[in-house]
Structure 1
Amino acid sequence: MSSIPSQSEPPTAPKLLDQVRGRIRFKHYSIRTEQAYVDWIKRFIRHFGKQHPKDLGADEVQAFLTHLAVVGRVAASTQNQAKSALLFLYKEVLGVELPWLDKVESAKTPKRLPVVLTRDEVMAMLSRLEGSSGLIARLLYGTGLRIMECLRLRVKDVNFERGEILVRDGKGAKDRVTMLPASVVPALRVHFDRVRELHRQDLAGGHGEVHLPYALDRKYPSAGREWMWQYVFPAAGLSVDPRSGVVRRHHVQDQSVQRAIRQAVRDAGINKPATPHTLRHSFATHLLESGYDIRTVQELLGHSDVSTTMIYTHVLNRGGRGVASPLDKLAVN
């Protein structure tokens, strides 16, 4: 039988990765960020023979990032994500404030124009989508929402009377308001009726509680079962919350939407690498084509800086920045 520790013995310190998870949750980072950061920290530790990170420093961080680029041949964005995870580990978890942390250079992310569909291509793609995936795709194109902003919508965030959608805690922890397309309202109302019936069935089966952000479940214990807090696009089945272990109905997974859109793009014969985010790019570009002010588009997209929105003005330029080729000016006999 194991002995019971005396009161004078200090409690066992949490393991490093548990400390990382705890700090991430304290700062209200998403579950995806948590999973990505923990994975990168594991890889960093394994790369140096399972040495504790406190015994490593600038040279090892730089060597690891270089290894990812040269041997792993990862994209610049992936390398920068790894760097962010390691900086979080040293600054937020280990409490290391050393000059070398800020001197670790980020990989240069190539500046590429976004993929944009024409209006005809959007129509062809949307016509090949049905059910929840079709409704989600229409909202992505009709509102400019990011995929996770759409999937995390709650019932209370959709205002049919005002024709608005309130985006809570978007990128950069910002709220914003965008339009609710009138053409999608009838289908969305029917969808709400189905979701409400599903919620009633969950409640009758002893479930019906949804995850609440920022520990609101402790402040309002019954709020998670209320209709207004339910996800607009709930998953088909119940699942175990990876953080709390509670059995709940989460929202639809973005992978299923991505697969449906990729298949619709193929079926429509569109020769572009279109994704759900392409619909957001198309939303912005088509608004600018229609003559809307770039500041209005910036606000609808939730960009902090108008320079981010300016990339869509480059997409609008036809050919070589809208310049007519001298070849087209020649008289053809």
Structure 2
Amino acid sequence: MNMGHNHAFQSVLAEQIKGFLTAKRALGKRFVCEEKVLRLLDQYLIEQQVEALEHITPELVESFLASRPRHSSKSYNQLLSTLRRLFDWLELHKLINCSPVRVSSRRVTAHRLPFIFTADQARLLLDAAVQLPTRSTAPNRGATYRMIFAVLYGLGLRVGEVTRLQIRDVDFQRDMLIIRETKFSKTRLVPFGPRLCTALRDYIRQQTEQYDVLAPEQPVFSFSRATARPINPNTISWTFHQLMPGLALDIPPGVSPPHLHCLRHSFAVGTLSHWYRTGIDPARRLIHLSTFMGHVCPSSTAVYLTITPELLQCANQRFEQCAAPILREVKS
């Protein structure tokens, strides 16, 4: 079955699904994963020979869910959430009488904290990445992955934002990256410091020397300059996981093994820790961090702010400093 974006919906629900996706994307949402789920539903309706909307019953929805086994409560709930949003939207717009989704979400019982890389652990990752051997299909592999992981950790970007970066998006005049058409179809400017500036400049100079000239539309990170194809995010994630065993990282109890998105979490926590250490009030700066990371509101950023022992210690020290005058007054 072709699951590509150009595959047309063909079931009895085809027009309604297309209308739903169009409406959501008009609000700036990408809905890539949601579309994949709805294509599975579309194919299932065809296989079950459903010919009328009223034949999409709660039993049929449960049967579809059962046909897509999910090993974790989280993945099952994501599948269910997409169905619920579709049918709620159809009911709201009076395209169906009532939603056939009656199933409850599964209880998530084993929520584990993301792994937060310290600066030393991030350096271990970069040192391991630069040692990756070059392949015929992946020239300068070590230098490329070292730069990718440095940008992910140092700027907290999403991996898709890194792979979509083009040469024209690296502005050395203003020392910033232009992140185009990211989540919610927004474009934002992300400044970088002198060390990352030097690393990026050296990396792009190396690429330019190897390929003579890089057009502005060329991806910053690519092993296929002739086709101008960026490195796939899944390939970056696979390489990250291949490096993990060699780092011998100590994973605390209740913390998930490191995955690529942990670098974004680490950036957020590291920024907050730096603010505490330098005496900056995090409450006044959280909106800045939210904007930097491409979130529409600080509540989205709060998801990334895992409480680490260092962060807790910094927060306690700040509280003691703020409370000291009050405590002295009480004691006197």
TM over 0.5: yes
Whole-angstrom distance in 2 between the partners of 1:50 and 1:231: 45
Check whether the contact 1:163–1:181 (CA below 8 A) recurs between aligned residues.
Answer: yes
Gaps of 5+ in 1: 1-13, 202-225, 239-247, 324-333
> Secondary structure at the residue paired with 2:178?
strand
d(CA) in 1 for partners of 2:74 and 2:22? 26
User: Within the alignment, does 1:280 sit opposite 2:264 as a pair?
Assistant: yes
SS in 1 for 2:269: helix
For structure 2, the 5+ residue unaligned runs are 1-7, 131-142, 252-256, 317-332
Alpha-carbon distance change, 57 to 42 in structure 1, aligned in 2, over 3 angstroms: closer
Asked whether the equivalents of residues 290 and 301 of structure 2 are also in contact (C-alpha less than 8 Å), the reply is yes
CA 1:306–1:193: 2 relative to 1, 3 Å? same
After superposition, where does 1:145-224 map in structure 2 within 5 Å?
A: 145-193=157-205, 195-196=207-208
Q: Which moved more, 1:104-113 or 1:116-125?
A: 104-113
Counterpart residue number, 1:315: 307
Displacement, 1:115?
2.2
Aligned to 1:75: 73
Q: Partners of 2:225 and 2:94 in 1: how far apart?
A: 41
Task: Check 1:40–1:268 CA distance in 2 against 1; reply closer, same or farther (3 A cut).
Answer: same
Task: From the superposition, tell whether residues 89 and 252 of structure 1 become closer, same or farther in structure 2 (CA, over 3 Å).
Answer: farther
In structure 2, the CA distance between the partners of 1:313 and 1:117, relative to structure 1 (3 Å rule), is: same
Q: Deviations over 1:103-150 (max 9, x none)?
A: 776556676533212222111112111221111000001111010011
For residues 249 and 316 of structure 1, do their structure 2 counterparts lie closer, same or farther at Cα, with a shift above 3 Å needed? same
Amino acid across the alignment from 1:67:
A
Q: Partner of 2:116 in structure 1?
A: 116
Distance 2:9 2:249 in 1: 50
Query: What root-mean-square deviation, in Å, do the aligned CA atoms of Structure 1 and Structure 2 show?
Result: 4.1
Q: Deviations over 1:159-194 (max 9, x none)?
A: 112111121122222222222232233332243245
Residue pair 1:40, 1:86 contacting (<8 A) in 2 also:
no
Q: TM-score, normalised by structure 1?
A: 0.65
The percent of aligned pairs where both chains have the same amino acid is 19
Cα distance, 1:250–1:89 mapped onto 2, change above 3 Å? farther
1:300 aligns with 2:292: yes
- Contact kept, 8 Å, 1:135 with 1:188, in 2: the verdict is yes
Q: Structure 1 pair 306/109, CA: closer, same or farther in 2 (3 Å)?
A: farther
CA distance in 2, matches of 1:36, 1:296: 34
Deviation at 1:61, TM superposition (A): 5.6
